């Protein structure tokens, strides 16, 4: 997603916090291992190794999404990201040492440095981070154009508890014609209670926004077409350093989804032209193969245990459940999962969604579904080229036909390969209705538009929360 000026300072400060922790870690590491008198000589004598180490940690944190605007908070995800950055940096140092046939940084110094950096970084991010970015210094002063229901919903979205840096709507601005009565009563949505209301004529828009010392202007008219009248003023504000966002921009940045009511076919064509998928397709496939092979080797003992437990619980039923699913460009393939329902689960009902507390799910199946362990056999589908590790969830042909009739643009998700996990899967729990499917489609469309290896990495790291803790996330 393109960088936005109103959160650039936040990203820079986060990176600088990591850099300071790294530098302090290096100083402490050298001091503990060699003594303080060796600090200058060792640090500058191994400057290439320190630059490589620092750069690898910062790059890993960037790829893992640590320097983006935050709209959710999870201590587990912070720890996973820290662990990934350390492992990534150590791997880069090891590979470089082998390539250069030299030890770039001593193991003792590196061990103390990593331990000190980890302690400082985790303490800052778990204890200080949220307090720091709730400070007035980092406050994002926001003006919303509009006083209706859309403006109120935007305020609710950007002022949520976990949005960092903190946003505060300082005014809801009503744009009036030159002939408007200045004394007329100003109507506003109940969701804007406590927000100052202001009026401005089109020619006064820039002056009023500057007078409010705003960092961000959001278009919040109930009728989006109204904004076209003010495009020249909004463009000047943007080029003058004040960020301007549309309702679609806001939804994507602050909730990670692309609302269906804000897009059309033209938007989807433009998004497909801007998508990086054609460029990253081969790299993504290589990534899928390598990770799948490693995961199959890692999960082989666990998979054998699960198969044994399923067989013991129902000796006459198959271990695997095979089902037709729709893949990329509508191609139908056979998906394999560990069986979690009774063998005759759909004998009377036919294809239906699973629901909360579904009586068809076995006791063992309920455990497997909670931790997504039933999906381990799908790694074979990834190796076969039917699926990717990350992508929209593959659905059954019968369900696809029904959803396509009821949800606009539903077949757009078939333009990329379906995934074992995905943006919609980690941002929204299991769905059991057309409304749930529509919401998950909004997350899928966001993923397709912003598809990248970095986003895939972020999704996989956050999937660990579900696999290890059995916790879904709901937005």
Nearest to 71 by CA among 122, 140, 22: 140
Sign (positive/negative) of CA torsion 463, 469, 472, 475?
negative
Asked whether residue 263 is domain-assigned, the answer is no
At 353, is the pLDDT very low, low, confident or very high (cuts 50, 70, 90)?
low
Nearest to 155 by CA among 166, 167, 164, 137: 167
Asked whether residue 248 is domain-assigned, the answer is yes
Radius of gyration for the chain, computed over Cα atoms and rounded to the nearest angstrom: 26
Nearest to 425 by CA among 270, 272, 189, 256: 256
Task: Give 110's contacts (C-beta < 8 A, 6+ positions apart).
Answer: 29, 53, 90, 93
Burial of 280 per CB tally in 10 Å (0-12, 13-18, 19+):
middle
Tell me the C-alpha distance between 306 and 312, whole Å.
10
Q: Regarding predicted confidence, which is higher, 353 or 96?
A: 96
Tell me the C-alpha distance between 16 and 136, whole Å.
19
At 354, is the pLDDT very low, low, confident or very high (cuts 50, 70, 90)?
low
Residues 242 and 367 in one domain: no
Nearest to 255 by CA among 389, 424, 438, 458: 424
Going from the C-alpha of 226 to that of each of 81, 104, 231, 235, the distances in angstroms are: 43, 60, 10, 15
What phi and psi, each to the nearest 5 degrees, are found at residue 345? -60, -35
Count the neighbouring beta carbons within 10 Å of the beta carbon of residue 422. 26
Beta bridge partners of 335: 323
Asked whether residue 264 is domain-assigned, the answer is no
Tell me the C-alpha distance between 148 and 317, whole Å.
57
Residue 80 has pLDDT above 50, yes or no: yes
Mean pLDDT of 43-49: 88
Residues 33 and 78 in one domain: yes
Going from the C-alpha of 137 to that of each of 13, 131, 133, 211, the distances in angstroms are: 12, 11, 8, 18
Query: What is the number of H-type helices and E-type strands within the chain?
Result: 18, 9
Q: pLDDT tens across 289-303, in order?
A: 999 999 999 999 999
Residues 111 and 226 in one domain: no
Residue 171 has pLDDT above 90, yes or no: yes
Residues 116 and 187 in one domain: no
Q: Regarding predicted confidence, which is higher, 360 or 54?
A: 54
Residue 474 has pLDDT above 50, yes or no: no
Residues 105 and 162 in one domain: no
Asked whether residue 272 is domain-assigned, the answer is no
At 473, is the pLDDT very low, low, confident or very high (cuts 50, 70, 90)?
low
Cβ atoms of 7 and 140 within 8 Å: the answer is yes
Asked whether residue 124 is domain-assigned, the answer is yes
Cβ atoms of 376 and 303 within 8 Å: the answer is yes
Residues 148 and 115 in one domain: no
At 465, is the pLDDT very low, low, confident or very high (cuts 50, 70, 90)?
confident
At 309, is the pLDDT very low, low, confident or very high (cuts 50, 70, 90)?
very high
Nearest to 423 by CA among 378, 388, 469, 470: 388
Write down the pLDDT at residue 187: 59
Q: Regarding predicted confidence, which is higher, 358 or 174?
A: 174
Residue 469 has pLDDT above 80, yes or no: no
Residues 81 and 163 in one domain: no
Write down the pLDDT at residue 180: 52
What CATH number is attached to the domain comprising 237? 3.40.50.20
Residue that terminates a domain, selected from 117, 132, 147: 132
Q: Regarding predicted confidence, which is higher, 220 or 346?
A: 220
- Which helix (H) or strand (E) segment holds residue 323: the answer is strand 320-326
Tell me the C-alpha distance between 413 and 329, whole Å.
9
Could you tell me the residue range of the domain that residue 49 belongs to? Answer: 5-132
What rounded mean pLDDT belongs to the chain?
A: 88
Tell me the C-alpha distance between 164 and 166, whole Å.
5
Write down the pLDDT at residue 357: 65
Number of alpha carbons in the 13 Å side-chain half-sphere of residue 288: 25
Question: How big is the CA angle at 445 (ends 440 and 446), to the nearest 5 degrees?
Answer: 100
Tell me the C-alpha distance between 165 and 135, whole Å.
9
Nearest to 446 by CA among 460, 471, 426: 426
Structure tokens at 145: 């154009």
Residues 122 and 146 in one domain: no
Q: Which 8-state DSSP code applies to residue 328?
A: G
Write down the pLDDT at residue 475: 46
Residues 325 and 404 in one domain: yes
Asked whether residue 262 is domain-assigned, the answer is no
Q: Is 327 in a helix, a strand, or coil?
A: coil
Structure tokens at 202: 């089109």
Residue 201 has pLDDT above 70, yes or no: yes
Structure tokens at 142: 């926001």
Residues 124 and 143 in one domain: no
Residues 143 and 212 in one domain: yes
Count the neighbouring beta carbons within 10 Å of the beta carbon of residue 330. 10
Q: Regarding predicted confidence, which is higher, 109 or 189?
A: 109
Q: How many domains does the chain have?
A: 3
Asked whether residue 79 is domain-assigned, the answer is yes
Residues 199 and 244 in one domain: yes
Task: Give 139's contacts (C-beta < 8 A, 6+ positions apart).
Answer: 165, 166, 167, 168
């Amino acid at each position: 997603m393109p960088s936005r000026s109103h959160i650039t300072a936040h990203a820079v400060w986060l990176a600088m916090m990591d850099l300071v922790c790294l530098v302090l870690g290096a100083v402490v590491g050298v001091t503990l291992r060699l003594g303080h008198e060796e600090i200058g000589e060792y640090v500058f004598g191994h400057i290439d190794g320190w630059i490589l180490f620092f750069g690898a940690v910062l790059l890993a944190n960037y790829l893992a999404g640590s320097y983006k605007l935050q709209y959710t908070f999870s201590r587990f995800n912070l720890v996973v990201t820290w662990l990934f950055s350390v492992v990534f940096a150590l791997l880069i140092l090891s590979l470089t040492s082998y390539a250069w046939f030299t030890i770039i940084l001593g193991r003792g110094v590196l061990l103390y440095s990593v331990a000190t950096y980890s302690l400082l970084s985790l303490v800052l991010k778990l204890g200080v981070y949220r307090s720091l970015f709730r400070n007035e210094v980092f406050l994002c002063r926001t003006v919303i154009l509009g006083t209706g229901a859309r403006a109120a919903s935007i305020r609710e979205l950007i002022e949520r508890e976990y949005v960092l840096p903190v946003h505060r709507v300082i005014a809801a601005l009503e744009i009036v014609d030159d002939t408007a009565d200045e004394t007329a009563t100003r109507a506003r949505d109940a969701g804007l209670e406590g927000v100052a209301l202001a009026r401005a004529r089109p020619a006064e828009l820039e002056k009023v926004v500057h007078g409010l010392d705003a960092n961000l202007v959001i278009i919040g008219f109930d009728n989006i077409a109204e904004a076209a009248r003010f495009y020249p003023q909004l463009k000047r504000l943007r080029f003058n350093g004040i960020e301007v966002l549309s309702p679609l921009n806001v939804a994507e940045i602050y909730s990670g989804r692309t609302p269906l009511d804000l897009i059309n076919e033209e938007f989807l064509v433009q998004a497909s032209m801007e998508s990086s998928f054609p460029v990253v397709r081969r790299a993504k496939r290589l990534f899928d193969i390598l990770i799948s092979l490693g995961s199959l080797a890692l999960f082989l003992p666990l998979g054998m245990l699960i198969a044994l437990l399923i067989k013991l619980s129902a000796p006459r039923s198959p271990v695997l459940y095979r089902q037709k699913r729709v893949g990329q460009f509508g191609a139908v393939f056979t998906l394999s999962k560990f069986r979690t329902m009774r063998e005759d689960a759909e004998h009377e009902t036919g294809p239906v969604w699973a629901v909360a507390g579904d009586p068809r799910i076995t006791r063992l199946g309920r455990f497997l579904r909670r931790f997504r362990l039933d999906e381990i056999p799908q790694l074979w589908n990834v190796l076969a080229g039917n699926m990717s590790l990350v992508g929209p969830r593959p659905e059954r042909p019968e369900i696809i036909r029904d959803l396509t009739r009821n949800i606009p643009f539903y077949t757009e998700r078939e333009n990329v390969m379906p995934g074992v996990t995905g943006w919609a899967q980690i941002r929204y729990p299991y769905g059991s209705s057309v409304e749930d499917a529509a919401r998950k489609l909004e997350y899928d469309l966001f993923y397709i538009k912003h598809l990248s290896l970095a986003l895939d990495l972020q999704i996989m790291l956050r999937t660990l929360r579900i696999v290890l803790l059995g916790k879904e996330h709901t937005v």
